[in-house]
C-alpha cells in the first residue's frame, strides 16, 4: 500500500501495509509524482536482529549504529523491542523500517510514526529543519514561536489570532525550509496535542524564542547565542554522527537571512505589540 504526500515542498512516498491513522495526512496527500524526494518503507516483523556489539541507548530509547554512509537506528518501547530503521544521509533519501508487530500500532500511530521512520533525519538532508514551534501566517509571512512545552507557544499564537487576525498553521511543529536565497516556514502533518495542522508554506519573517516574564522585552540574538538557543528547539536527537554539524550549517544560513528574537513576554496583547514594534509590522 502506498501513499504520496507533499510536505515542506518535498514529494514523499510512504510504502507500508500499516499506514498510520492520521486525520491530518489527507491535507498533505498528492497524486503520484514523477519523482519522489524521499521514500519511506515500513515492514512488520516478529523480532529485531541486533548487531554483535554494545548499543548505547539514549534516554529516549534510541541507539544509532553507523555502517559507512548507512545508519541503523534502533528504538525501544520501554524495555521491549520496537523498531530498527536503516537510512542514509546521502542523495538516496530513503528509509526502511522494520517494526515489531506487537508494538506496530503504537510506533506507527500519530505520535511516533515520523520519529520511527527517521523523518527528521531524512528532511535534514533536504535542508529542512523541524522545530518545536507554533507557526502563524500574518499577511503572507510566517512567524514561528519556539520554546519548550508549557512555555507559551500556543498562547502567543492565539494572541496574534485574537488581536491581529493571524492564521495559525500549526500549534506545535513547524518545518523550516532553508534555501540559498530564501527561508520558508511550512506546515507538517503532526502537531502534538494542539489539533491545529494546516498545509501551508510562506516566507519566514522571524523565529521567536519565548521566555515567560512579568514584563515584555525583546532581544535580537546572533552568532553562537542564536544557534545555541535554536538547537534546543529542533526535533533531532543528534544520535548519528555529523547530524549536529549539518544542522549547525543550516542554522548559520538561517540566522543570516531571518531575525532570531528572544521575547520575554506576558500572556496578553502587550506581547503582540512588543514583537510587532521590533519587527516593524504595521497594524
- Digit-by-digit pLDDT tens for the chain (283 residues) are 888 999 999 999 999 877 666 677 888 999 988 889 999 999 999 999 888 888 888 888 899 998 888 899 999 888 888 999 999 866 568 899 999 999 988 888 777 888 889 899 999 989 999 999 999 999 999 999 998 877 889 999 999 999 999 999 999 999 999 998 899 999 998 887 788 889 999 999 999 999 999 999 999 999 999 999 999 999 888 888 788 899 999 999 999 999 999 999 999 999 999 999 999 887 6
What is residue 110's predicted lDDT score, i.e. its pLDDT? 74
CATH of 128-278, one of 1.20.1250.20, 3.40.50.1820, 3.90.228.20, 1.20.1070.10: 3.90.228.20
Res 246: pLDDT: 92
Q: What pTM, to 2 d.p., does this model score?
A: 0.92
pLDDT at 91: 58
Cα–Cα separations (whole angstroms), residue 34 to 11, 12, 31, 282: 9, 11, 10, 43
CB of 199 closer than 8 Å to CB of 27: yes
The domain ranges of the chain are: 2-124, 128-278
pLDDT value for 93: 80
Write down the pLDDT at residue 262. Answer: 97
Amino acid at each position: 500500500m502506498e501513499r504520496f504526500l507533499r510536505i515542506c515542498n518535498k514529494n514523499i512516498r510512504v510504502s507500508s501495509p500499516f499506514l498510520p491513522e492520521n486525520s491530518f495526512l489527507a491535507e498533505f496527500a498528492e497524486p503520484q509524482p514523477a519523482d519522489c524526494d524521499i521514500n519511506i518503507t515500513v515492514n512488520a516483523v516478529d523480532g529485531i536482529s541486533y548487531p554483535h556489539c554494545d548499543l548505547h541507548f539514549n534516554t529516549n530509547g534510541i541507539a544509532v549504529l553507523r555502517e559507512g554512509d548507512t545508519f541503523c537506528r534502533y528504538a525501544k518501547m520501554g524495555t521491549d523491542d520496537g523498531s530498527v530503521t536503516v537510512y542514509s544521509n546521502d542523495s538516496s533519501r530513503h528509509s526502511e523500517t522494520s517494526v515489531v508487530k506487537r508494538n506496530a500500532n503504537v510506533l506507527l500511530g500519530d505520535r511516533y510514526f515520523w520519529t520511527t521512520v527517521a523523518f527528521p533525519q531524512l528532511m535534514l538532508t533536504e535542508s529542512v529543519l523541524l522545530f518545536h514551534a507554533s507557526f502563524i501566517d500574518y499577511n503572507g509571512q510566517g512567524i514561528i514561536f519556539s520554546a519548550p512545552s508549557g512555555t507559551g507557544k500556543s498562547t502567543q499564537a492565539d494572541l496574534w489570532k485574537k488581536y491581529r487576525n493571524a492564521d495559525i498553521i500549526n500549534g506545535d511543529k513547524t518545518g523550516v525550509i532553508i534555501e540559498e536565497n530564501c527561508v520558508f516556514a511550512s506546515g507538517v502533518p503532526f502537531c502534538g496535542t494542539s489539533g491545529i495542522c494546516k498545509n501551508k508554506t510562506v516566507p519566514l519573517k522571524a523565529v521567536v524564542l519565548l521566555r515567560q516574564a512579568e514584563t515584555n522585552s525583546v532581544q535580537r540574538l546572533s552568532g553562537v547565542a542564536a544557534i545555541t538557543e535554536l538547537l534546543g528547539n529542533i526535533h533531532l536527537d543528534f544520535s548519528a554522527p555529523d547530524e549536529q554539524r549539518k544542522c549547525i550549517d543550516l542554522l548559520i544560513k538561517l540566522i543570516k537571512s531571518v531575525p532570531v528574537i528572544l521575547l520575554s513576554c506576558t500572556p496578553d496583547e502587550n506581547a503582540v505589540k512588543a514583537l510587532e514594534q521590533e519587527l516593524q509590522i504595521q497594524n
